[in-house]
Homo-oligomer: A and B are copies of this chain.
């Protein structure tokens, strides 16, 4: 039930391809099986290849109908089956998917007659623009753009080469999108942030005159929102990957190669270093700095700067190990409360003994 295959191969051809990619592997069983798809252990059929990387799924090996399974060097199979042994099964799987399935093929619209392109917009070579796309004045788009139906690109935007915008992506005015950027459906880039000044209990709107820069090779998921800066720029750094429903506040700068899971929210003026990972639903308040290679746990609430290489967890977020210890102790609070009660009783008992003792002494004297 996967997508149709782009490139049918035999198991031997796949194995040779993996070897060329530096992933030597060893086939147990016949190697002339035609491979028509990569699939999960549960769903794979007799001409499909699957994989075992997470021990959690070992139980599926007894019953899988997969024609072959990629496993590590030491794995002991529960029965005779066609195996592809390699050092890193997950990496070999990834390479197999790319080799056999390839990347998504897009419809060919040319510049669709129902696209609206301003006369002052410049489109690069081989522009592939769907129906219902609107491209406003003074937009410049590089070569090989694929822009799905319903996208809107406002005046003054600069869009790089080989950019891929899925349906209904909205890009506000003067945004800059680098080369090889992919943005999934419904994402909004460059909307105004929460920029208001309080005047007599009302909110007075401040024009948001900054921009958004999305650097090269960024991929952004569906229905995200990236505020433009009030002044200056909001930046998503080169090679960063975002999942869905992520909110980035005005003037925030995310470094290279970030990996943000769904529903992450960063307030305004946050500085994020390079190669930072954030778990789902994590949040960061404004004006915070997060160092390179930091890892922010799922649902963390970051209210203090995070040094490089640190792992933080919890809301408010603290060092991951401390947070785990605190969580564990929190769950032992009923026990602790009981212990305090016992100690109290013991102290009372001791005091009583002491008193009766003293009395005995007094009597003795």
Contact = CB atoms under 8 A, between A and B. Distances in A.
Nearest to A325: B334
A70 B251 CA distance: 19
The 10 closest A-B pairs by CB, nearest first: A225-B244, A40-B232, A247-B262, A170-B185, A329-B333, A188-B222, A152-B167, A191-B222, A222-B225, A101-B209
Contacts of A197: 90-91, 94
A202 to B, nearest CB: 5
B201 A275 contact: yes
Given A166-B191, A203-B257, A134 B132 contact: yes
A201 B237 CA distance: 14
Interface string A263-287: 1010100000001000111010101
A340 B341 CA distance: 10
Interface in A198-224: 201-207, 209-211, 219, 221-224
Interface stretch (A27-35, A75-83, A348-356): A348-356
Q: How large is the interface on A (under 10, 10 to 19, 20 to 34, 35 or more residues)?
A: 35 or more
Contacts of A299: 283, 301, 315
Nearest to A155: B107
Contacts of A102: 207
A359 interface: no
A104 interface: yes
Tell me the number of copies of this protein.
3
Contact of A333 (B130, B275, B326): B326
Given A37-B209, A186-B170, A247 B247 contact: no
A223 B222 CA distance: 9
Contacts of A225: 186, 221-223, 244-245, 262
Interface string A140-165: 00000000111010011000000000
B191 A188 contact: no
A301 B283 CA distance: 14
Most buried by B among A137, A347, A361: A347
Contacts of A202: 239, 257
Interface in A10-40: 37-40
A58 interface: no
Contact of A207 (B98, B131, B191, B343): B98
16 contacts: A3-B211, A107-B136, A132-B132, A134-B167, A149-B152, A166-B170, A168-B168, A186-B225, A191-B221, A203-B239, A227-B243, A280-B283, A316-B327, A325-B333, A350-B354, A360-B361
